[in-house]
Chain A
Amino acid sequence: MQYLAEGLRLPTNGLDYAILAIYFAVVLGIGFAARRSVKTSLDFFLSGRSLPAWVTGLAFVAANLGATEILGMAATGAQYGVAVVHWYWIGAIPAMVFLGLVMMPFYYGSKVRSVPEFLLQRFDKSAHLLSSILFAFASILIAGVNLYALSIVVEALLGWPQWVSIVVAGFFVLAYITIGGLSSAIYNEVLQFFVILAALIPLTLLGLKRVGGWDGLTDSLTKQYGDNFLSAWGGTGIGDANPLGANWLTIVLGLGFVLSFGYWTTNFAEVQRALSAKNLSAAKRTPLIAAFPKIFIVFIVMIPGLVAAVLVPKIGTAGSDLTYNDAIPLLMQELLPNGVLGIAVTGLLAAFMAGMAANVSSFNTVFTADIWAKYVVKDREDTYYLKFGRLITAIGVVASIGTAFLASSFSNIMGYLQTLFSFFNVPMFVVFIIGMFWKRASMKSGVWGLLAGTSAAMINYFVIYKQGIIDIPSDQGANFVSAIVGFVAGALVMVLVTLFTAPKPEAELAGLVYGTTSPGMQEAPEEGDSAWYRRPALLGWGAIVLAAACYIPYSF
């Protein structure tokens, strides 16, 4: 660890630190400037449902573009090659489009303030309480993962002791969310989105130049790792061996369908951004606008990963001091002069903070609106819940500092996150999809579906895979399979329970189930929403076609 820290130290100077300091000042400034817009708890937790679509859309993609994602996906690129595109083109776009076109009318139209609150409306209190607690727990855990990852990266790059970066980053996140609420979190995410682009685009271009352009890159990689390294689907036939440890079926069903839909459509840290949009049209467009940058972001994380695999042929193996996660920091050190280097460091730190802030700002909403206000201190005036929301934000940040150390046992940070998602989000998705499309699904089926799906995925991963009862070549492959198992188990149990328990009265399902509309939906569309480039169907199908087209050069 010590050697690594020395090896990756960046040659930062005063210029770079000035750029970083300006950013931190702006982050706090946004928090203070947003403060005067926070009058009700709805302002604090959902920006008063009043933001324009381009802001919520960019925040939607940025909330996912945390530094763990950036470093983790570059790592996946260095380790598995072009196959990393699956996490974007099949593992994100279809789910984002589905969320926008199909699910958003129910989410936004029913006026729920959180994902668990939808379950309360559609099913019953037990499903609601279980999902609220699971979500609160998971978001603190993931915020902790971010904070821990930040501290090891900052220690390696800048030489700050781990506790310093944990305290500094924790303090800034705590300050700007406690003061400015979700508006402050979302605005910072939009800003972070542009800074991270300004960091990764020069890095990608210089990296390509270093290895002789795209042709030079592909030549070296083919020589080193074979043709399949540069193909999305090569070697993914059932029974074939490939480094990903997954075949096309588990990629399509496990990653593309279950994991991805579970993450993008029911993870409140994402959905919250859409719920803060100013009207239904803007809410529908939120994930659709996000889909377009998402399609192309893969290039600026995958290429640095591939370049690192060329520059350090032994990266990630026992013969090298560098792990896969070091791909981007390595290129920053090798290629960026002071100035752009400061932008890159700022972008990375901003991404870490935004990744953590997205989880904290969704945690405080669920904890206040879904747990505290519904089960602990009920029916108080709104100012009380606003105050409590600020308090629990601070507590949440402190708690995530505590959980930061849980993250240290997995070498690939992304694998750790995916494992968590497969356990928590997969059953959520089953319950949502069945609840939204099957009117008969009974009140009790929600909670049993959640329990069955979560336990099945855990048993598959920790017992059947980890104990070697069935042979899956890699953790990633096992994640995909566990997700499918959790989905099927959750669905089966829901159907079984429904057959023996009472359905929800039809009158209470208005606006929650496919084929019904919410009584509050007749709000007039805003002027200009009918412009052709704002039509959700066009945006959604456009994103799907574009993502499919992107596969073509990497499939043959």
Chain B
Amino acid sequence: MSDLQREVSELESKSATAARLFDIRRIIGGLFVVYGVIVTIAGISPSDADLKKAEGVHINLWTGLAMLALGLFFLVWLKLRPTAPPTPGDVQE
């Protein structure tokens, strides 16, 4: 084994990322649920000017609902397949 491999392996064994880093699915899910709700509400009764601008499409409503669905997808995924528990010996808080 070269010096480099020894050094990196040692650092890997001390690394805390695997044990302590939060799951990004929670953040994506949370942000998109919030965005989805905000944009959907903005799209529930669009002004005539907004509708005309968006070629008659209820674009806020559709985008909002799609973002809400994406957010919920991430939260459900997280619920169904939670992060694997850290292997014994890892730092736990």
Contact = CB atoms under 8 A, between A and B. Distances in A.
A binds B: yes
Interface of A: 15, 18-19, 22-23, 26, 29-30, 33-34, 36-43, 47-51, 55, 110-113, 117, 121, 183, 187, 190-191, 194, 198, 201-202, 205-206, 209-210, 278, 334-340, 343, 382, 508, 518-520
Contacts of A41: 11
Given A206-B54, A206-B55, A278 B8 contact: no
Contact of A339 (B18, B39, B70): B39
Contacts of A190: 24, 28
B29 to A, nearest CB: 10
27 contacts: A19-B35, A26-B31, A36-B16, A37-B19, A37-B21, A38-B17, A39-B16, A40-B14, A40-B15, A42-B8, A42-B11, A48-B11, A55-B24, A111-B4, A117-B4, A198-B70, A202-B59, A334-B53, A335-B53, A337-B50, A339-B64, A343-B35, A382-B14, A508-B2, A518-B5, A519-B1, A519-B5
A191 B64 CA distance: 17
A110 B18 contact: no
Given A18-B38, A19-B38, 14 more contacts: A15-B42, A37-B20, A39-B15, A48-B17, A48-B18, A121-B2, A187-B24, A187-B27, A198-B70, A205-B57, A335-B54, A337-B59, A340-B63, A518-B5
A49 B63 contact: no
A139 B11 CA distance: 26
A217 to B, nearest CB: 14
Interface of B: 1-2, 4-5, 8-9, 11-12, 14-22, 24, 27-28, 31-32, 34-35, 38-39, 42-43, 46, 49-51, 53-55, 57, 59-60, 62-64, 66-67, 70, 91, 93
Given A15-B42, A190-B24, A519-B5, A335 B16 contact: no
Contacts of B27: 26, 29-30, 187, 191
Given A183-B17, A190-B28, A191-B31, A112 B4 contact: yes
A190 B59 CA distance: 24
Contact of B32 (A40, A194, A382): A194
A29 B34 CA distance: 15
Given A42-B8, A111-B4, A121-B4, A183 B21 contact: yes
B39 A340 contact: yes
Given A191-B31, A206-B59, A520 B15 contact: no
A413 B21 CA distance: 36
A302 B63 CA distance: 20
Contact of A113 (B8, B53, B66): B8
A278 B24 CA distance: 15
Contacts of B46: 337
Given A37-B16, A40-B15, A336-B54, A191 B28 contact: yes
B20 A337 contact: no
B80 to A, nearest CB: 15
B11 A339 contact: no
A512 B31 CA distance: 42
B39 A343 contact: yes
B11 A382 contact: yes
Nearest to A22: B34
Contacts of A38: 16-17
A49 B18 CA distance: 8
Nearest to A120: B4
B44 to A, nearest CB: 11
B43 A520 contact: no
Given A198-B67, A202-B63, A206-B59, A520 B17 contact: no
A22 B38 CA distance: 11
A202 B67 CA distance: 11
Nearest to B31: A26
Contact of B5 (A51, A110, A339): A110
Nearest to A33: B22
A24 to B, nearest CB: 12
A39 B31 CA distance: 27
B12 A335 contact: no
A1 B8 CA distance: 51
A198 B20 contact: no
B8 A47 contact: no
B15 A48 contact: yes
Nearest to A521: B5
A520 B9 contact: yes
A336 B59 contact: yes
Contacts of A382: 11, 14
B63 A50 contact: no
